[in-house]
Amino acid sequence: MKAAAALLTGALALSLTACGGDDDKSGGDKSTGPKESGSALTLPELNGTTLEVAAVWTGPEQANFKKVLAEFEKRTGAKVTFVPAQDPIINFLGSKIAGGQPPDVAMLPQPGAIKQAVDKKWAKPLGAEALKELRKNYSQGWQDIGKVGGEQYGVYYKAANKSLVWYNATVFENAGASEPGTWDELLSTAQTVYDSGVTPFSIPGADGWPLTDWFENVYLSQAGPEKYDQLAKHEIKWTDPTVKEALTTLAEIWGKKDYVAGGADGALQTQFPNSVTQTFTGGDQPKAAMVYEGDFVQVNIAQTDAKIGTDAKVFPFPKVGDTAPVVSGGDAAVVLKDSEGAQALATFLASPDAAEIQAKLGGYLSPNKNVDVSVYPNDVQRTIAKALIAAGDDFRFDMSDQAPQAFGGTPGKGEWKDLQDFLKNPSDVAGIQKKLESDAAAAYGN
């Protein structure tokens, strides 16, 4: 873990903000594009076959994925319909299955959701061709996350580096602020930005999941990977002193209302897309100077006039303990109807052919080690992609995504709701710990 973390954070620190003004909206390097139907990947003819794919993706992310599905249609003759799902997707799928209309494939954002789909006997194991493509293109670590009981059910089509802080370069320059490498330096940078007249942080408190990501980065760096794994499995309680320490650290930012755009009340009404756009609009007086979240922030930055690498820059999440955190997430394709068409789509999504289509469009990161990184549209994204692949199996997956969905993946409940309450009142560390433990024990059944 430490070697990979050092590699990833070192690569990012050295080169992310050294990148030029490659504009995420420009389309990047036109000379290298996705492989067309003449590639080595062989797919069956599926004329007359209709398929449905369910995912919670919206906006540009959904639009870009539909272009991947369009290429599958072109190669096979199948007709694929995207089905917008709601969080938690397991509940959405349950209603579809109860009504006799399950989608053929679902994109599940949590290993815990994959396990639930298997336990409910909804998910089907990957077929031979999908397994062959997966094993050829993915490290063992990314394969293992999609397994339940030793059997392969998920193809992690999409990954995320969730250890990044994006910032408005003009604000930093005007304030004389520099990129921090440690938590104490982050606090100092925040004060420098605040003194210049701009609120330091934009926090999407209306969405619970970014708050869990904040916690996970602090906890992984401060408590270390062994404790992180134990807490993820609920082998230690949320009343553990390490959790108290992490929450107390978070409160150093969350508890300073002047550091958060709109204060706690404003943050709790701010959804993730708006947290990004309000950081990169408003000229030299945006609503905030920094926004923490993963590489996928680029999709939202692309909706503004900011150019990635010049106006919008990024630094690794600062280390709180001895080592900077490396937290990853992702979305896995899971087959719900064991048909030739569904298995063929899973095979396609496990290939570099599919990933390179969406990689070229920006705001997307693939764990597929055979994706040509030159197709990513800017130097920032190419650096992040290279670092993810170089990290190999040494990373930590999003903790809340490993939890039962009732605790780690349901709006208005469990960890999402508890951390929203903590954002509202960061002084009540002990109270939030007790609530987190109560909710975790109920969800894990222990």
* 16 band by pLDDT with thresholds 50, 70 and 90: low
Residue 26 belongs to some domain of the structure: no
Please say if the pLDDT value at position 353 is more than 80: yes
User: Same domain for 220 and 280?
Assistant: yes
Residue 4 belongs to some domain of the structure: no
User: Same domain for 40 and 148?
Assistant: yes
User: Same domain for 302 and 352?
Assistant: no
Q: Among the listed ranges 90-104, 280-294, 313-327, which one has the minimum average pLDDT value?
A: 313-327
Q: How confident is the model over 230-264, as pLDDT tens digits?
A: 999 999 999 999 999 999 999 999 999 999 999 99
In b/e form, how buried is each residue of 225-252, taking b as 16+ CB within 10 angstroms?
bebbbebbebebbbebebbebbbebbbb
Structure tokens at 100: 């006799």
User: Same domain for 258 and 222?
Assistant: yes
- Report in angstroms the alpha-carbon separations of 66 from 63, 82, 199, 265: 5, 7, 37, 36
* 24 band by pLDDT with thresholds 50, 70 and 90: very low
Residue 239 belongs to some domain of the structure: yes
Mean per-residue pLDDT, 134-152:
96
Supply the pLDDT for residue 38: 40
User: Same domain for 104 and 209?
Assistant: no
Supply the pLDDT for residue 15: 45
Residue 221 belongs to some domain of the structure: yes
Residue 176 belongs to some domain of the structure: yes
Percentage, residues of the chain above pLDDT 90: 81
Supply the pLDDT for residue 12: 54
User: Same domain for 241 and 299?
Assistant: yes
Distant-in-sequence, close-in-space partners of 366: CB < 8 Å, separation ≥ 6: 157, 158, 159, 352, 355, 358, 359, 385
Q: Any idea what the CATH number is for the domain that residue 115 is in? A: 3.40.190.10
User: Same domain for 279 and 172?
Assistant: yes
Whether 258 and 197 have beta carbons less than 8 Å apart is answered as: no
* 6 band by pLDDT with thresholds 50, 70 and 90: very low
Residue 99 amino acid letter: G
Please say if the pLDDT value at position 32 is more than 80: no
* 418 band by pLDDT with thresholds 50, 70 and 90: very high
Residue 376 belongs to some domain of the structure: no
Q: Where are the beta strands (DSSP E) in 132-268?
A: 147-148, 151-152, 154-161, 164-168, 201-202
* 122 band by pLDDT with thresholds 50, 70 and 90: very high
Number of domains within the chain: 2
User: Same domain for 184 and 94?
Assistant: no
User: Same domain for 153 and 170?
Assistant: no
User: Same domain for 179 and 247?
Assistant: yes
Supply the pLDDT for residue 26: 37
Mean per-residue pLDDT, 51-63:
94
* Residue numbers of the domain that contains 125: 32-161+327-371
Nearest by Cα to 314 from 296, 290, 279: 290
Q: Tell which of 371, 400, 428 closes a domain.
A: 371
Mean per-residue pLDDT, 20-36:
38
Please say if the pLDDT value at position 156 is more than 70: yes
User: Same domain for 429 and 346?
Assistant: no
**What is the C-alpha to C-alpha distance for residues 404 and 110, in angstroms, rounded to an integer?**
9
Supply the pLDDT for residue 25: 37
Mean per-residue pLDDT, 211-225:
97
Mean per-residue pLDDT, 282-292:
96
Residue 17 belongs to some domain of the structure: no
Distant-in-sequence, close-in-space partners of 72: CB < 8 Å, separation ≥ 6: 43, 78, 80, 344, 345, 348, 354
Give this prediction's pTM. 0.78
User: Same domain for 201 and 301?
Assistant: yes
Supply the pLDDT for residue 394: 66
Please say if the pLDDT value at position 392 is more than 90: no
Mean per-residue pLDDT, 262-274:
97
Q: How confident is the model over 316-349, as pLDDT tens digits?
A: 999 999 988 889 999 999 999 999 999 999 999 9
Mean pLDDT for the chain overall: 91
Q: Tell which of 348, 371, 394 closes a domain.
A: 371
Residue 382 belongs to some domain of the structure: no
Q: How confident is the model over 160-189, as pLDDT tens digits?
A: 999 999 999 999 999 999 999 999 999 999
Instruction: Tell me if residue 335 falls in helix, strand or coil.
Output: strand
